[in-house]
Amino acid sequence: MRKITFIGAGSFGFTRSLVRDVLTFDAFRDVEIRLMDIDSTRLAYSERAVRKIIEKGNYPATVKATLNRAEALEGADGVVITILSGGPDIFRNDIEIPKKYGVDICVGDTRGPSGIFRFLRTAPAMLEICRDIEKYCPDAVVLNYTNPMAMLCRYIQSETKVHMTGLCHSVQGTAQMLAQWIGAPMEEVTYTCAGINHQAFYLEYKWNGRDAYPLIREAVKQPEIYNKEQVRNEMFLGLDYYVTESSGHNSEYNAWFRKRPDLLEKYCTHGTNWNPGKHAFILNEYFEREADGKWMKDIEEWLEKDDFDLARGGEYAACIFNAVFGDHTPYEFNANLRNFGLIDNLPQGCCVEVPALASRAGVRPFRVGSLPDQLAVLINTSARCEELAVEGCMEGDRRKIFHAVLFDPLTSAVLSIAETKQMVDEMFEAGKDYLAYFK
């Protein structure tokens, strides 16, 4: 019997879908699912969902929910981490303090001033979890879904011995989107994608072995397709390669789209699948759902349903577990791992997102070589800011955090050095209850 543990299991959507995927493999039909969270209400909802999935599938699997992390981790073969450090008020500061200074953030969970301070809050909690993994299940395959992905993986992979791989669904999700645009069945598409999390690019995208980029260029000329992803499509037209993460996210990772009201109106308001022009879209939606209890209503509605699907979804996690300690069917995916000889023109040791193979031998990344120069310039800026932020975190050095924010492309397009320093100081003050480890 294999044991798979979910830390942060109160993340209802992720836990529900990943458990469903795990149970589709014959090797895991009798798996022991362990759910752990610090929020007993959310944990109870996830336990009910998992029991419902097990019952509907008539699986011989078992589930155990606990508030005790050691109990959840003891002897686990696989661990999934989906945590959020800090409540809604501190999350609001991540967005609203930069906004006050003119840095208009859309999501704020990955990089830039918001992503960096989210990382600084989350890193100590993530380190505690991974120290427990070293103690209670040192050989476990650890899959992280928590953002900011690159900085957290870089930090944990350098500070601990856990076998952690970072996962993001944007790679396969965007690949499927592009296939739809050109009318290609996904099973006939192959690609090579590399860079850093949320700023990885399809270096090759082929349909039945032939370059499909000419078809993508033709598709993007159609207004109904161009307007679905205005920011990413503009980046594609300018950089010649397609980026993985959504327009909302990518609009805040560079200096091109959010530094002036007219650019926000032109590129970020009317046609991006969801509206990154609306200030703090994700934050506003989150607070609305929290305030009126809609998240609980949505969960209760799902728990009352009998017609949900047990078919495997598109996330990587279950397939990786199956490859390493299930039936050992090899599985290729994109992993977030440190850059030791993987991408030549990105910083050595930074966290990169590259093709990898999961098998009985574990997770092994593939060497990519050099990125096209124009991509390397863009990605190096983000990667080096992330390196500064991680070093600042490990050393408790506020000055390095200031420098990490100072060179963020959107921040530096909007603020002076003095203004950036003032903003960073204010963010430190707002988050001081979580950042006592800084000098």
Structural contact between residues 154 and 387, judged by C-beta atoms closer than 8 angstroms: yes
Distances (CA, A) of 439 to 155, 400, 426, 435: 19, 12, 15, 9
CB atoms within 10 A of CB 374: 13
- Ligand-binding annotation for 163, yes or no, is no
193 is in an annotated binding site: no
What distance in Å separates the CA atoms of residue 408 and residue 147, rounded to the nearest whole number?
Answer: 17
* Residue 95, H or E segment: helix 88-100
279 annotated as belonging to a binding site for a ligand: no
Distance between CA atoms of 118 and 97, rounded to whole angstroms?
Answer: 13
Q: Which of 163, 169, 249, 328 is catalytic?
A: 169
What is the spatial distance between Cα 364 and Cα 140, in angstroms, rounded to a whole number?
15
CA 244, CA 229: separation in Å to the nearest integer? 11
Q: Are 228 and 254 in contact (CB under 8 A)?
A: no
Nearest to 150 by CA among 350, 7, 11, 341: 350
Beta strands in 60-158 (DSSP E): 62-66, 78-81, 141-144
The radius of gyration of the chain's CA atoms, rounded to the nearest angstrom, is 21
Element (H, E) at 207: strand 199-207
Give the CA distances from residue 308 to residues 21, 173, 311, in Å, rounded to whole numbers and listed in that order.
Answer: 13, 21, 9
How far apart, in Å, are the Cα atoms of 136 and each of 92, 128, 129, 139? 35, 12, 10, 9
Catalytic annotation present for 163:
no
Cβ distance 203 to 240 under 8 Å? no
Burial 378-395, CB ≥16 within 10 A → b, else e: bbbbbbbbbbbbbbbbee
Q: Which two tokens stand for residue 411?
A: 């921040």
3-state secondary structure of 338: strand
Task: Give the residue numbers of the binding site.
Answer: 147, 168, 198
Which residue numbers are catalytic? 169
Residues making up the annotated binding site for substrate are 147
Q: Which residues are annotated as a binding site for Mn(2+)?
A: 168, 198
